[in-house]
Amino acid sequence: MRYELYYWSGIQGRGEYVRLALEDAGAEYVDVARERGDSALMPFLRGKHESALPFAPPFLKAGRLLIAQTATILAYLGPHLGLVPGGQAAEIYAQQLQLTIADFVVEIHDTHHPIAASLYYQKQRAAALKRAQIFRDERLPKFLEYFEDVIERGNGRTALSRHSYVDLSLFQLVSGLDYAFPNAMRKMQKHMPLLRALAERIAKRPNIAAYLASPRRIAFNEEGIFRRYRELDSVR
């Protein structure tokens, strides 16, 4: 199967969770907008096609299926790419964890855009400072300690019995948070040894290491979800 991934060409964003799964599995895929430009997404967003209507990118074409929503794409790809352990309980748990990652990603994004995604950061800076402070003090520890507990319960892996797309997404989370909130992450360091070890292990997987070193990996930047605005990461 040759997959077609549709996502904005200039950011890692939510598309990156899908890219990491495709890359780790060595799947054959085209990152369509990076080859043909972002306008290639538009006909699907406008519904000029037969199958499911996406609300937003990323979406994946897999044969006749068009699948939107990051977690749904990963739930589909998991069994096909060997990225989820077999059995209903593991598939359900993987999906539950992926949706919790998705919730966390919304909260990370909203630290810099608490009022509206359509407004410039500078227009919502005061609210962002407040939201980011509570995010660093309450939400970041709550989510990271939750995932640490999940791994601990699973005896060193993600409570799933073996490697999965959840591990890849947790790697992306840790990488992005290291970029955007280096000070807050330093404070978290001693509370997340298993999560840190997982992220380091994933970075060394041959296909992931090759991907991260390639031009296919877009650098973190201030158009994406993880943004390095120093004032949102001040340690008191």
> Which residues bind to its own copies, rule: CB under 8 A?
47, 51-55, 64-65, 67-69, 71-72, 75-76, 88-89, 92-93, 95-96, 99-100, 102-103, 106, 110, 114-116, 118-119, 124, 127, 130-131, 134-135, 138-139, 143, 146, 149-150, 153, 159
Residue 31 or residue 148: which is nearer to its own copies going by CB? 148
Count the neighbouring beta carbons within 10 Å of the beta carbon of residue 168: 25
Least Å distance, CB 206 to its own copies, is: 30
Least Å distance, CB 233 to its own copies, is: 17
Least Å distance, CB 158 to its own copies, is: 11
Least Å distance, CB 109 to its own copies, is: 11
* Encoded tokens for 57: 């990118």
Edge-first strand order for the sheet with 2-6 is 28-31, 2-6, 59-62, 65-68
Q: What CA–CA distances, in Å, run from 192 to 22, 104, 164? A: 27, 16, 19
Contact by Cβ (8 Å): 10, 223 = yes
Residue 40 or residue 52: which is nearer to its own copies going by CB? 52
State whether residue 173 is helix, strand or coil: helix
Least Å distance, CB 117 to its own copies, is: 9
Q: What CA–CA distances, in Å, run from 68 to 91, 206, 232? A: 18, 28, 31
Residue 71 or residue 225: which is nearer to its own copies going by CB? 71
Residue 130 or residue 186: which is nearer to its own copies going by CB? 130
Distance CA 14, CA 227 (A): 14
Residue 66 or residue 218: which is nearer to its own copies going by CB? 66
Least Å distance, CB 2 to its own copies, is: 19
Residue 136 or residue 163: which is nearer to its own copies going by CB? 136
State whether residue 156 is helix, strand or coil: coil
Collect all residues with Cβ–Cβ distance below 8 Å to 124 and sequence separation of at least 6.
113, 114, 115, 116
